[in-house]
Amino acid sequence: MASTPLPPASTPSSGTSTVAIDLGDRSYDILIGEGLLQNPATFAGLPKSSKALIVTNTTVGPLYTAALRAAIAPHHKAVLDVELPDGEQHKDWPALNQIFTKLLEEAADRKTVLYALGGGVIGDMTGFAAACYMRGVPFVQVPTTLLAQVDSSVGGKTAINHPAGKNMIGAFYQPQRVICDLATLDTLPQRELLAGLAEVIKYGPIADAEFLSWLEAHMDQLLARDRAALKHAIQRSCEIKAWVVGQDEKESGLRAILNYGHTFGHAIESGLGYGEWLHGEAVGAGMVMAADLSTRLGLIDEATSQRIRALIARTGLPVTAPDLGADRYLELMQVDKKAEGGEIRFVVIGPLGQAGMRPAPESVVRDVIAFHTR
């Protein structure tokens, strides 16, 4: 596991909380609170430029672009925006090129700041565009979904999908700041909230058994969108991810544990076609499969595996995966980023609150797939 101990959970507070990502000269803060998006003070100290570009989508843009534009206007002479189509199926080259086209049409220079306003798809594509345009311009994450606030906006992973594999084309490129405004979750559809809870739940089995117990005790409040419960869940998730990313920015070892459930989950997304299942839905079923794999490998007992499954089921997330056929699952998992030399490697738990990477016999993987698909 890690070379430094996991920091204890912060004391819950009602004000704005800050979680620091320690990466030397690429360090930045995650701000978590209410009313941040519309407050100019939130953006103090960020790079100023003659132009800024808000990248959003057709769902989020009408809700929040005007407020964000007004908040960042004091820091830029001109604030532009581009609205991309909404959905995982649009996390591709044509949508990415819309960002580049806008930047080129507006003669954006290398000091232009990009603002990613939306969920994980927008955050990933905006970060990738920022990494590529003029070989790197600054960008700011303003995630508006629970999944993006607890996972995809943090840590500098940027990418687009390819029909043959999810997130296989991208770059590590850190934002200048991450701004998690809890108020944006009020407009989040319930299905998207549940998808975000999958990424919250994963932090318990892989890093913090006490957090898993807290989630079991407070799941009803989270499902009811209790603001204090959501804030604690987001903050603890970000603290754990900051701890991991600070030690392994480019996923050479420890950071891979953040992909618990994702090897199976990415296969589900790719196999069904992007957008059929939400990312968090696929990860939810994937975590159930990965917990069972951990049990079959003798790393955790059956009761622990069932405990994880029960919590995921309580959220309403799927705990049974679609039947793509074992051969198709194995084919898709071969192009997973964690595969090495053609060998599929899985994030497994053992004991609860710790995780690692290891291959598994194909016969055992086939048994897991057969048991959990329909």
Please give the angle made by the CA atoms of 350, 356 and 358, to the nearest 5 degrees.
Answer: 105
Q: Is the pLDDT of residue 1 over 60?
A: no
pLDDT at 120: 96
| 181 and 111 both lie in a single domain | yes
Q: What is the pLDDT of residues 178-213, one digit of tens each?
A: 999 999 999 999 999 999 999 999 999 999 999 999
Residue that has been written with the tokens 């206007």 in this structure: 73
Q: Residue 127 corresponds to which tokens in the numbers above?
A: 């970060």
247: CB partners within 8 A, 6+ apart: 2, 3, 4, 254, 255
| 46 and 157 both lie in a single domain | yes
Is residue 340 annotated as part of the catalytic site, yes or no? no
Would 8 be classed as within a structural domain? no
Greater confidence, 168 or 291? Answer: 291
User: Of 129, 156, 187, which residue is a domain's last?
Assistant: 187
Q: Computed from CA positions of residues 204, 210, 211, 214, in that sequence, does the dihedral angle turn out positive or negative?
A: positive
| 211 and 287 both lie in a single domain | yes
Q: Is the pLDDT of residue 62 over 70?
A: yes
| 201 and 115 both lie in a single domain | no
What CA–CA distance (Å, rounded) separates 265 from 98?
28
Q: Which of 192, 199, 239, 249 does the annotation list as catalytic?
A: 199
Percent of the chain at pLDDT > 90 equals 91
| 306 and 161 both lie in a single domain | no
Q: Which of 34, 88, 251, 281 does the annotation list as catalytic?
A: 251
* Radius of gyration for the alpha carbons in the chain, expressed in angstroms and rounded: 20
Average pLDDT estimate for 340-347: 87
Q: Is the pLDDT of residue 3 over 90?
A: no
What CA–CA distance (Å, rounded) separates 131 from 170?
9
| 201 and 286 both lie in a single domain | yes
Q: Which of 90, 91, 266, 309 does the annotation list as catalytic?
A: 266
Is residue 83 annotated as part of the catalytic site, yes or no? no
Is residue 281 annotated as part of the catalytic site, yes or no? no
User: For the chain, what is the domain count?
Assistant: 2
Residue 148: which pLDDT band, with cuts at 50, 70 and 90?
very high
Q: Which of 241, 307, 309, 338 does the annotation list as catalytic?
A: 241
Q: Residue 67 corresponds to which tokens in the numbers above?
A: 């407020």
- Calculate the alpha carbon distances from 155 to 22, 108, 164, 200, 292 in Å: 10, 26, 24, 15, 28
Q: Give the structural domain span for 322.
A: 190-372
pTM: predicted TM-score of the whole model, two decimal places: 0.95
Instruction: Give 79's strand partners.
Output: 52
Q: Which of 76, 90, 91, 157 does the annotation list as catalytic?
A: 157
Q: Which of 236, 262, 307, 338 does the annotation list as catalytic?
A: 262
Is residue 135 annotated as part of the catalytic site, yes or no? yes
Average pLDDT of the chain to the nearest whole number: 95
Q: Are 171 and 128 in contact (CB under 8 A)?
A: yes
What CA–CA distance (Å, rounded) separates 312 from 144?
22
pLDDT at 2: 46
Is residue 161 annotated as part of the catalytic site, yes or no? no
Is residue 255 annotated as part of the catalytic site, yes or no? yes
pLDDT at 354: 96
Q: Which of 76, 259, 269, 345 does the annotation list as catalytic?
A: 259
pLDDT at 82: 98
- Closest residue by Cα to residue 229 from 262, 195, 193: 193
Average pLDDT estimate for 76-83: 98
Is residue 262 annotated as part of the catalytic site, yes or no? yes
Q: Residue 329 corresponds to which tokens in the numbers above?
A: 């699952």
Q: What is the CATH number of the domain that holds 231?
A: 1.20.1090.10
Q: Which of 76, 236, 279, 338 does the annotation list as catalytic?
A: 279
Average pLDDT estimate for 327-336: 92
pLDDT at 339: 78
Average pLDDT estimate for 135-158: 97
User: Of 160, 187, 214, which residue is a domain's last?
Assistant: 187
Average pLDDT estimate for 105-125: 98
pLDDT at 374: 87
Range with the lowest mean pLDDT among 10-19, 26-35, 318-327, 359-368?
Answer: 10-19
Q: Which of 255, 307, 337, 338 does the annotation list as catalytic?
A: 255
Percent of the chain at pLDDT > 70 equals 99
Is residue 266 annotated as part of the catalytic site, yes or no? yes
